[in-house]
Amino acid sequence: MEKIVLSQKLSLFSEQWSPKIVGELNDSYIKLAKLKGEFVWHHHDNEDELFFIVKGKLLIKFRDKDVFLDEGEFIVIPKGVEHLPVAEQEVHVMLIEPKTTLNTGNIVNERTVENLTTI
pLDDT tens-digit series, residues 66-90: 999 999 999 999 999 999 999 999 9
The pTM is what?
0.89
> Per residue in 19-42, pLDDT tens?
999 999 999 999 999 999 999 899
Q: What is the pLDDT of residue 37?
A: 96
Is pLDDT above 70 for 104?
no
Nearest to 71, CA basis, from 2, 21, 7:
7
| CATH code given to domain 6-118 | 2.60.120.10
Q: Provide the greatest CA pair distance for the chain.
A: 42
Confidence category of residue 116, pLDDT binned at 50, 70, 90: confident
